[in-house]
Amino acid sequence: MNKQRVDEIITEYLPKIYGFSVKKAFTYDEAEEISAMIVEQVYTSLLKMDEVYNIDGYIRRISKHAYSKYVSSVKRHEGVSIDGMMIPFEQDFTLTEEVEDEILRLRREIAFLTKTRREIVYSFYFANKKISRIADDMGIPEGTVKWHLNRARNEMKEGFTMERKIGKLGINPVKARGFGHGGHTGSNDGPEYYLGDSLNLNIVYSVYFEPRTKEEIAEELGVTLVFIEDRIATLEENGFLVRQAGDKYTTYVHFDPETFSLEMLETKRKSQLEVAKMLAEKYVPAIRESISGINDVYIPSGNRELFEAAMIFYGINHCCSCKTNKDLSKYYVRTTAGGEFICYVRFEQTQNDTDYIATLDLPGYNGCGDMIRDSVKYPSVSSWSVDTRYDTREGAWKNNLYSDYEYLYEYLTSTIDDIPANSEKFERLRSRGFITDDGRVNLMIAKGDRNTFFDMIPEPNEDIKKIIADNSLDIATMTVKDYPTQMQDLVYEIICNNFAGGFTVALMVMDILYSNGTFRPLTEDERVTSNLIMFSDVLPK
């Protein structure tokens, strides 16, 4: 059959093939995959035929056969046999380049159809948007929206609600913007090792707001239980799922809310700015005075303000918290790889008060830390650091290695020389900027024990503590309402602990000190060691 005729048939039957696939599938992603497989089989088969007199019947047979092969393939990869029978599965690798290009084009059409249908169905059934609003948001006619909804209803069959066939996460799975952890990860990476997989992430999120059984999790995700049963067991074994009465699961993983109020965020930031101004005026002088007598510190540029800024950041971060003393043990994920940490998942958040007009224009206040690195090889060697926008370090906690400080210590003590045998160590130190090309050490180093050193930083006075506590409790009470019940103790502790004692206020104070002339701007070399201090029993000569 000539290509033009085949293209006409495919164009006519593509929506029907897609409808068949949706009926068979448990998610729109799976429908897309089944559709693509059927279209490929139909397209290549028609090219080999002289003529087909019953196109409907022919395509129906191929669709059923392709679906059987799909099920067989999936089950085989899952290690499951269907009634003990294995359907042969073959792939035709003899396609011409022209045919492969055409199949790729058809796959893109199916993907577009799937994406459009998924977005419309989610917006109508789950976001409760009106058809006119959906049309405006997507830039398509209202008639197109109605057509997709009508097709979706038919595809799902009369008598089945969308919620029953595919849950919210099956239609619109969540995607992580990033992960965080508080604690140690063990031999595996952090939360991303377990939740970087989209299906695992959505399994855990499905029980965040209400406990669910395995069967209810499968229904919410729109998959058969056999596909996720092993995953559920693994996630439970590693602490991401917690079994409750009635074989229901919950989780103590901390997820960002999917929406945020800009007005509430600005209320919090304004409160923090006031606290930062107070600390810059009343607490910073006390810290600078307490460390004025410390002289056993190597500062590469000789700029003592660099050292003072690090001590101020540490003091605010560690001495300005408002503790609630809640028992947070249940929030720690304990993995079989030896990890023990509180797990954080970050989402791209959507503003839910779009009519609110912003009144602040502030920089970011993110950071990575506190990072403590204690050397086992050299007991006198350790480091403290927090990565922020004031430094040029890259790679966050994963790129902050114990060995970096051991290599530098070996260089300080002349244990290693810059010769080919030690090239990897020197390449590492230079790549991090810890030594310059001419061999100069470019890291702040303090002589002595880390804990003894930081213990010199004074606590804020009682008046400052009371102001911090009052503001922290107000913001915490407002914030916990956005979280499920089982997470509220953790959220309360996080807000109270981090309102003034986290990175945000510490960075606000640094912004004040660097903008009002108290501290001079950092050079590029100084930014390498901003808020990073190594501790050792020797200093550079």
Residues constituting the chain: 541
* Residues in contact with 533: Cβ distance below 8 Å, sequence separation at least 6, in sequence order: 307, 310, 383, 384, 385, 444, 445, 446
**Does some domain include residue 127?**
yes
The rounded distance, in Å, linking the Cα atoms of 454 and 443 is 18
pLDDT at 184 over 60: yes
**Does some domain include residue 266?**
no
Residue type for 528, please?
V
The rounded distance, in Å, linking the Cα atoms of 402 and 388 is 20
> Can you tell me whether residue 307 is helix, strand or coil?
helix
Among residues 139, 161, 183, which one ends one of the domains? 161
405 and 289 part of one domain: yes
* Residues in contact with 347: Cβ distance below 8 Å, sequence separation at least 6, in sequence order: 174, 175, 176, 177, 255, 256, 257, 258
392 and 466 part of one domain: yes
What is the DSSP code (8-state) at residue 523? P
The rounded distance, in Å, linking the Cα atoms of 213 and 249 is 6
H runs (alpha helix) in 122-159: 131-138, 142-156
**Does some domain include residue 349?**
no
In this predicted model, what pLDDT tens digit does every residue of 32-42 receive, in sequence order?
Answer: 778 888 888 88
> What pLDDT sits at residue 3?
82
Q: Single out the residue of 282, 292, 343, 344 nearest to residue 316, CA to CA.
A: 282
Cα–Cα–Cα angle for 311, 315, 318, nearest 5°?
A: 135
Residue holding tokens 């929030």? 331
306 and 195 part of one domain: no
- Token digits for 430? 């230079």
The rounded distance, in Å, linking the Cα atoms of 83 and 534 is 64
Strand duo 178-184 + 340-346: pairing: antiparallel
pLDDT at 360 over 60: yes
- Token digits for 467? 């102001």
Q: Single out the residue of 11, 24, 115 nearest to residue 69, CA to CA.
A: 24
Answer for the pair 362, 271: CB distance below 8 angstroms, yes or no.
no
Residue 50, Cβ density class (10 Å: 0-12 exposed, 13-18 middle, ≥19 buried): exposed
144 and 289 part of one domain: no
Answer for the pair 320, 471: CB distance below 8 angstroms, yes or no.
no
Domain count across the chain:
3
Among residues 137, 161, 185, which one ends one of the domains? 161
Strand duo 532-536 + 444-447: pairing: parallel
> What pLDDT sits at residue 311?
98
> What pLDDT sits at residue 75?
47
In what order do the strands lie in the sheet containing 297-298? 297-298, 444-447, 532-536, 382-387, 368-374
40 and 157 part of one domain: yes
- Token digits for 192? 């991303």
Answer for the pair 191, 346: CB distance below 8 angstroms, yes or no.
no
pLDDT band at 285 (very low <50, low <70, confident <90, very high): very high
In this predicted model, what pLDDT tens digit does every residue of 137-180 receive, in sequence order?
Answer: 888 888 888 877 777 666 544 333 333 345 788 778 899 999 99
241 and 289 part of one domain: no
> What pLDDT sits at residue 125?
64
> What pLDDT sits at residue 73?
62
| Element (DSSP H or E) covering residue 193 | helix 192-195
The rounded distance, in Å, linking the Cα atoms of 40 and 461 is 73
73 and 19 part of one domain: yes
**Does some domain include residue 210?**
yes
Among residues 255, 287, 305, which one ends one of the domains? 255
411 and 325 part of one domain: yes
> Span 94-99, mean pLDDT?
52
Residue holding tokens 């103590």? 252
61 and 146 part of one domain: yes
Alpha-carbon dihedral angle through residues 492, 494, 497, 498, given to the nearest 10 degrees: -130
**Does some domain include residue 322?**
yes
Q: Is 49 left (phi over 0), alpha (psi -120 to 50) or beta?
A: beta
**Does some domain include residue 282?**
yes
In this predicted model, what pLDDT tens digit does every residue of 112-131 receive, in sequence order?
Answer: 556 677 778 767 765 678 88
In this predicted model, what pLDDT tens digit does every residue of 185-212 receive, in sequence order?
Answer: 888 878 999 999 989 999 999 999 999 9
240 and 135 part of one domain: no
* Residues in contact with 460: Cβ distance below 8 Å, sequence separation at least 6, in sequence order: 279, 282, 283, 286, 319, 320, 468
pLDDT at 390 over 70: yes
286 and 141 part of one domain: no
232 and 380 part of one domain: no
pLDDT > 70 in the chain, percent: 86
Answer for the pair 279, 371: CB distance below 8 angstroms, yes or no.
no
**Does some domain include residue 264?**
no
Residue type for 427, please?
E
Residue ranges of E strands in 393-461? 444-447
> What pLDDT sits at residue 187?
87
Domain CATH number, residue 251: 1.10.10.10
**Does some domain include residue 362?**
no
The rounded distance, in Å, linking the Cα atoms of 30 and 67 is 11
> Span 279-289, mean pLDDT?
98
- What are the φ/ψ torsions at residue 10 (nearest 5 degrees)? -60, -45
Domain that holds residue 63: 3-161
